[in-house]
Amino acid sequence: MHRALGGARSVIGGVSMIVLVVARGYSNASTPSAIQPIAVSDAVSRIGSQNFKFDPPTITVPAGTTVTWINRDDSVHTVTSEDGRLASAGLSNGEQFSYRFAVPGTYAYHCALHPHMMARIVVQ
């Protein structure tokens, strides 16, 4: 038999399920015990490096998107932005690098080891 934890735990088909509520601030000053849930809405986009190029070479994403690069080549590659904001270590085959783009703009990047590998991300 499971004890209820303030409604946060329930039993479904014999499996315990715990619901996590993330809170930020208070809904109003007169009710300081109120908890406001936050929706997790970060989008995730993936870019592969294969055959010595980034695929896709250009993507457009909304602000707040986390972009993940995955190296699918046998050679080591980096993700290095033209403005220096973005700089991964060398990524071997199967390794990943992620970056969250919070500010709108166009971000050009390349592989520092293979400068002909160029691409860009447009953040709206």
Q: Do 33 and 59 belong together in one domain?
A: no
Residue that wins the pLDDT comparison between 16 and 77: 77
Domain that holds residue 84: 44-123
- DSSP code at position 90: P
pLDDT given for residue 18 in this prediction:
26
Lowest mean pLDDT among 9-18, 31-40, 89-98, 104-113: 9-18
Domain match, 98 and 112 both: yes
For residues 69 and 6, the model is more confident at: 69
- 58 and 114 belong to one structural domain: yes
In the prediction, which pLDDT does 45 show? 76
The per-residue pLDDT for 84 is 87
- Residues 66 and 114 occupy one common structural domain: yes
Task: Tell me what the pLDDT averaged over the chain comes to.
Answer: 73
For residues 25-49, average pLDDT: 49
pLDDT digits (tens, 9 = 90+) for 58-103: 999 999 999 999 999 999 999 999 888 899 999 999 999 999 999 9
Q: Report the alpha-carbon distance of residue 121 to residue 65 in Å, rounded.
A: 11
CA dihedral 91, 95, 100, 101 (to 10 degrees): 50
pLDDT of residue 26: 31
**What is the residue whose two structure tokens read 């403005």?**
83
Do 26 and 85 lie in one domain? The reply is: no
Both tokens assigned to 10: 């329930």
